[in-house]
Structure 1
Amino acid sequence: MSVLSSTATAVHAGKMATPRGGKAACVQQAPERNWTDDLPVCQLSGVGMVANALYEPDGSCPEERPCEDCALRFRSEERYLYGVFNGFGGNRVSNFVSQRLPAELLLGQLAPGDKDSKVKTALLQAFDVVERSFFESIDDALAEKADLQSRLPEGSGQYTFGTQYPQLVERLQALEREVGGGTTAVVALVLNNRLFVANVGTNRALLCRMTSGDGLDIVQLNSDHHMQNEAELQRLVQLGLDIEKVKEEGALGQIDCTRRIGDYKIKLGYKDIAALNGAKSEPVIAVPEVSGGTSLEGTIGFLLLASDGLWSALETIHGPGTANRELAILVAREFLLRSSVTAVAQVVVERVVQLHQETRLERAKNDGETHAIEQHDDATLLIRNLGFPPGGQALTNSNSTDLSFAGAHTYPVSVPYSTGQGHPGKTSVMLSLVMPYSGPIVNGSHSTGSTSDDVTPSNPVLSGPSPHTTLQSHTHSSSSSSGEGHLFRGPRQSSHVPPDEDGHVEPYVDFSEFYQLWNLEHGNPAGELT
């Protein structure tokens, strides 16, 4: 399985590797050396990333465009900086921001004893400086672009330009690739065991902490900046905009975000857009929403930074308002099986993308839309471990036999995927044996957010003194332990497996991981299940 290498630079878009399942994982492309190459990587964190792809009917997933996401995870003395950047219209802006932002926050601007207000101000200023620096970096290209456009005769169509002025048009296209696009950004800063989050756009920051009852408390630390956010709509109304007109004309450009970095066509040219030219000031801004500092003292859990492409894929699979919980449970479950944070992140992203593909293709088939274009966006997950025990360490390093910090007392087993015709599919899926559990999983949200889960579900108690188990597929029901989604859609037909000559049926469920975790829990790592 492909995982991201731990290097001293930000994770850049570029060359693609194809891991198991045919998904293209963004890996580093050997870029030019940057100053951040000398910054130490935070080894308590890891990044998983899968590039965008089209879903073909034959199951292949060709890349639609180069990966535009970036991530960073640096430490500098007692400062830790993490970020996920969801680029659009190219990767120029996301690359620029991932390289420039650390210079504004990790070069002595902050000290461990600084007050929360000073840290928040530093984050606000950093975003402002980075965007202004980007626009300054494209000044010459914008000037050249304007000059070339002035040479084209008015009233001619794009086809005429291409045939009569091929070199000029080619140069204009190259300049547009250089200056166009933008990025959303979610950044987390840990300073003196205090957590601060700054966000523009629709990436998410989730703080997941074990509770005293061995549950998992999930809190979204930022709000989504889009046209469904009431606070953002009110901000646009106060600027004098007609919200319905903005929506109807798609005036915000390539994405629905009301806050972003870059995107000169919207930022510098909004006066030329009919639905936006009545605004008193720039309607689309790069001013981050900043929260903190949340104390991490005594915290056992993990911090998640997820791109829009990841959590929106989860909502496609499980339904609106479910992404935060499903993502946290997936991560907790993988921590049971793996000791590498990067491996946990990569496996989770690949699993979400695989389930998204299966969900979209199955729905298109059921709706009779066999020729519909289905796809997924770049998906990125950054995990910072906050004392959460990976790879079964909680079982081997203590006397505890409780696995409930994974969302339930769970053991994984592998079962062949069943199609609607009752025949095994090409892949296997992970299910869980869910043991008696008493700790809740609680969804929370940032107090100003409007996009967190509408309900606050908790895991039911699987009561009974005996070790009775329940085999479950991973739907988004509250007793799910790893959020695998709807495995079986439509009626299932029974399929009879003929017995062998001794009257035995060949086993088709893989219990190897179940045995491993069971034996670890019961202090018999080398033994067999009894």
Structure 2
Amino acid sequence: MPTRAELPRSNHFQETHSWTDDLPVCRLSGNVAFMLNMMMKMEVMLWVGFSTNQIYREDGCRQEEHQFEDRSFHCCVDDNTFLYGVFDGHEGVQAATFALQRMAAEILLGQLSGKTSDEEIKEVLRQAFIAVEKGYLDSVDDRLAERTSLQYEIPDGMTSYEAYQKFPHLVDKLNALNCELSAGTTVVVALVYSGRLYVANVGDSRALLCRTDSNGVLRVVQLSVDHDLRNEDELLRLSQLGLDVDKFRQGSRLGNQENTRCLGNYLVKGGYKEFDELVTARAEPVIAEPEIHGGIQLDETCRYQQLTCLYPSLCNCMQCRATGWFLLLMSDGLYKSLVEATRTDQVNKDIAQMAVEQFRVQSTLTGVAQAVVDKIVRIHHDVCMSGSTSPDGHFTVAGKRDDITLLVRNFNFPLPNALNSPTNAVVRFNPIVTTVSTSSWSAGDDNSTIENSLTDTTASNTTDDQNNDTSTTESSSDLFPDRPNPVDRNTRINAYVDFSDFFQNVEKARAEGTLPLDIEF
């Protein structure tokens, strides 16, 4: 069967461009008024941390086993709709990249219009997964046709060894195609719509909703389902298809992958009969049907509130330890690395607690997400390189780890040391009009020039702070007593931006004949 080693390599973490790159990135949360307020404050409400897979070496040099296969997006469509997703690809990036681009389109391009009930919105999410799955499998039709053609060229009854001895070029091509057709991805998406949270997933990427109560107790709820061979509900489903689940309990793979649900991977779906352990199934054992949870009401208590405490890092006041909500979306590399290194039986709570600790000390959500990832990576690496074993003496950490992605969506969890953007200061437009000297103004002169002196910024701010009486106004008669209005509406105003370089370049391009034909200059 195909392996990652046969896949083409790439040094890029993500494709150069996706249509989702043009969607507004979600940096905010709340309703319209709240959004406008936060746009002024520029508080980043979401960010992603990641780490590429690694094979540990004794010399400490970094070595990746395969290209980075995780993908993620986070976008804000309007003040009412936010969508986030983490895609953990396997056997290549094809399925993860395809799902990244199509999933948003299947949810955000009008499908939610008019949907108000939880069941209607869940159905939109379910249909999105099914549509992405169908679209991906349709996109590999040409590879399926080529694979079938190659299989017909190899006589029946031959063993793999005999086929490779007689038809090495055909076997090599067939293996390469099998690699491509094995590409699949887990998916976990979170939709915030009309103040409610919905989570849908296939595979073992997770979504954790975390909050602290008024007593500072951390509550963690897993909103996703791990679709793997440790899930008794999934084993029951496989048993009902006619498979011997006792064999699966002793192993960790279903065909050529670990998950019982995913998007993509034709070989364990349409081609599942080619696997000895799956041949007795009455239908496709690996499916793309998502588990969906929600909606969870995100009321006023979930809104972000700017801390006003002067010394938040030193304070223990009620405001600085107030209740807070945040959401974590992660690929399985994050929590599995921590479990493998520490053998913890409460990995969700451990990760959430790490996030809480980083909220207290980091100044950005970028720092929170990446610090959690870096800490788990360091723990896993140190345990592995130290050769630690479990108390029974049998446990040893593997000499490598998988890709890791962690997406943090903050609702209202305090970030006491948050960096303040320059736009945090309230900008007020309170212009002070300075008139031209009356001695230099000549009534009736249509071409007279008006020179306005700029008021010192500090003086302007001081005046604004000291005089907040908005009822005081100045009329044109106050500015120009006993004079007609000196401004001619047809008089050309001197430009306050110098476009001379632009016009010179336009003329140069016109002379060279390189001006775009569809733009009027």
Q: Please indicate, yes or no, whether the TM-score normalized by the shorter chain is above 0.5.
A: yes
* Alpha-carbon separation, structure 2, partners of 1:57 and 1:390: 38
Q: CA offset at residue 159 of structure 1?
A: 6.5
Structure 2 match to 1:295: 297
Q: Does 1:36 align with 2:20?
A: yes
2:235 to 233, 236, 255: 233
Classify the secondary structure of the residue corresponding to 1:259. Answer: coil
* Alpha-carbon separation, structure 2, partners of 1:250 and 1:113: 40
Classify the secondary structure of the residue corresponding to 2:387. Answer: helix
Classify the secondary structure of the residue corresponding to 2:191. Answer: strand
1:354 to 374, 378, 399: 378
Change (3 A) 1:153 1:275: closer
Structure 2 match to 1:3: none
* Alpha-carbon separation, structure 1, partners of 2:115 and 2:153: 57
Q: Does 1:329 align with 2:331?
A: no
TM-score (norm 2): 0.66
Preserved contact between residue 249 and residue 275 of structure 1 (Cα < 8 Å): no
User: Percent identical across equivalent pairs?
Assistant: 42
Structure 2 match to 1:313: 337
Change (3 A) 1:372 1:45: closer
- What's the CA shift string for 1:104-156, capped at 9, x where partnerless? 11111114861111010011111001001100000111111111232234566
Structure 2 match to 1:66: 67
* Alpha-carbon separation, structure 2, partners of 1:255 and 1:240: 19
Preserved contact between residue 190 and residue 196 of structure 1 (Cα < 8 Å): yes
Larger CA Rg, structure 1 vs 2? 2
1:392 to 417, 429, 446: 417
* Alpha-carbon separation, structure 2, partners of 1:209 and 1:112: 31
Q: Where in structure 2 are there 5+ consecutive unaligned residues?
A: 1-8, 28-44, 303-323, 421-521
1:212 to 207, 211, 214: 214
Change (3 A) 1:382 1:216: same
Q: CA offset at residue 158 of structure 1?
A: 5.6
Q: CA offset at residue 170 of structure 1?
A: 4.5
* Alpha-carbon separation, structure 2, partners of 1:86 and 1:168: 31
Q: Which letter does structure 2 place at the counterpart of 1:39?
A: L
Preserved contact between residue 229 and residue 248 of structure 2 (Cα < 8 Å): no
Q: Identify which range, 132-141 or 159-168, moves more after superposition.
A: 159-168
Mapping of residues 55-454 of structure 1, within 5 Å: 55-77=56-78, 78-111=80-113, 114-154=116-156, 165=167, 167-247=169-249, 252-297=254-299, 298-299=301-302, 300-363=324-387, 374-392=399-417
Instruction: Return structure 1 stretches of 4+ with deviation > 6 angstroms.
Output: 365-369
* Alpha-carbon separation, structure 1, partners of 2:141 and 2:190: 30
Q: Which letter does structure 2 place at the counterpart of 1:287?
A: E
* Alpha-carbon separation, structure 1, partners of 2:114 and 2:357: 34
Change (3 A) 1:59 1:394: closer
CA RMSD across the alignment:
2.9
Q: Where in structure 1 are there 5+ consecutive unaligned residues?
A: 1-12, 17-26, 396-530
Structure 2 match to 1:456: none
Classify the secondary structure of the residue corresponding to 1:390. Answer: coil
Q: CA offset at residue 39 of structure 1?
A: 0.7
Change (3 A) 1:88 1:380: same
- What's the CA shift string for 1:310-332, capped at 9, x where partnerless? 11111123324221111111111
- What's the CA shift string for 1:258-312, capped at 9, x where partnerless? 1111111111122333332333322211111101000111122210011111111
Q: Which letter does structure 2 place at the counterpart of 1:93?
A: A
Q: CA offset at residue 14 of structure 1?
A: 5.1
* Alpha-carbon separation, structure 1, partners of 2:173 and 2:186: 27
Q: Report how many aligned residue pairs link the two structures.
A: 371
TM-score (norm 1): 0.65
* Alpha-carbon separation, structure 1, partners of 2:115 and 2:128: 19
Preserved contact between residue 181 and residue 263 of structure 1 (Cα < 8 Å): yes
- What's the CA shift string for 1:405-446, capped at 9, x where partnerless? xxxxxxxxxxxxxxxxxxxxxxxxxxxxxxxxxxxxxxxxxx
Preserved contact between residue 69 and residue 84 of structure 1 (Cα < 8 Å): yes
Q: Which letter does structure 1 place at the counterpart of 2:350?
A: E
Q: Which letter does structure 1 place at the counterpart of 2:23?
A: L
* Alpha-carbon separation, structure 1, partners of 2:389 and 2:23: 49
Q: CA offset at residue 391 of structure 1?
A: 4.6
Q: CA offset at residue 245 of structure 1?
A: 3.1
* Alpha-carbon separation, structure 1, partners of 2:142 and 2:129: 22
Q: Which letter does structure 2 place at the counterpart of 1:65?
A: H
Classify the secondary structure of the residue corresponding to 1:73. Answer: strand
Q: Which letter does structure 2 place at the counterpart of 1:390?
A: L
* Alpha-carbon separation, structure 1, partners of 2:352 and 2:133: 32
Where is the strand percentage greater, Structure 1 or Structure 2? 1
* Alpha-carbon separation, structure 1, partners of 2:64 and 2:356: 30
Structure 2 match to 1:53: 54
Q: CA offset at residue 251 of structure 1?
A: 5.9
Change (3 A) 1:69 1:362: same
Where is the helix percentage greater, Structure 1 or Structure 2? 2
* Alpha-carbon separation, structure 2, partners of 1:188 and 1:68: 20
Q: CA offset at residue 368 of structure 1?
A: 10
Change (3 A) 1:250 1:273: farther
* Alpha-carbon separation, structure 2, partners of 1:141 and 1:128: 21
Preserved contact between residue 251 and residue 276 of structure 1 (Cα < 8 Å): no
Preserved contact between residue 229 and residue 253 of structure 2 (Cα < 8 Å): no
* Alpha-carbon separation, structure 2, partners of 1:218 and 1:84: 19
Preserved contact between residue 246 and residue 276 of structure 1 (Cα < 8 Å): no
Q: CA offset at residue 61 of structure 1?
A: 3.2
Q: Which letter does structure 2 place at the counterpart of 1:151?
A: E
Q: Which letter does structure 2 place at the counterpart of 1:102?
A: A
Classify the secondary structure of the residue corresponding to 2:335. Answer: helix
